[in-house]
Amino acid sequence: MINKVVASADEAIRDIRDDMTLVVGGFGLCGIPENLIEALVRKGVRGLTCVSNNAGVDDWGLGLLLRTRQVRKMVSSYVGENAEFERQYLSGELEVEFAPQGTLAERMRAGGAGIPAFFTPAGYGTAIAEGKETREFDGRHYIMERGIVGDFSLVAAWKGDRLGNLIYRKTARNFNPMAATAGRICVAEVEELVEVGELDPDHIHTPGVFVHRVVVAPRVKRIEQRTVRKG
């Protein structure tokens, strides 16, 4: 009987080693695999390349790995909430590759679909296009972007079963489905584990064929910036 559930986050990331590339899901602090990230901090692996829409904040998410100097390079779209990221980047301690948000999502999706490269108009004529092949199609200019394939992908889902079928909730669906397919080995942490057959097949966002390990882990749902109206 197939059972992809492992006992702990530490076991789930047991074979992640130094200098690997990790594709990490999440949008802001929503839908990030915080338990797997904390396990990486405990494991102490170094020289990581992390591909993620953002880099967390100073004391949460990927910001924890930045604080302990375990990340060598970030491939990201939005990094404005992390002061330590800024400090390391400006001091030359951290290598950074920026990508437009839609381009980054498509690079993950393409890598997971076996597409090595694609053309997009986003970034043409800007610093993003430097050193990249350009083509003209139907009178419009495009730049070539490479698909992303990581050694591991780390994602966080709302519900999952022992076969690895996953459902994300609301904003957590932004990057997690693409990230899940972009790693050679996909590890998912889920809030709730259900029996096989309980998930409506029409509602599954990541089929279990893409997922190799599942860990049930409590989630801390932090808010990046809390904004309220005066009463």
pLDDT in tens, 155-203: 999 999 999 999 999 999 999 999 999 999 999 999 999 999 999 999 9
Residue 226: inside a domain: no
Q: Locate 212 and state its tokens.
A: 């190799």
36, 14 in Cβ contact below 8 A?
no
Q: How far apart are CA 159 and CA 181, in angstroms?
A: 17
Residue 94: inside a domain: yes
62, 56 in Cβ contact below 8 A?
yes
- Domain residues for the domain of 137 are 17-216
Collapsed DSSP state (helix, strand, coil) of residue 105? helix
pLDDT in tens, 92-114: 999 999 999 999 999 999 999 99
CATH classification at residue 188: 3.40.1080.10
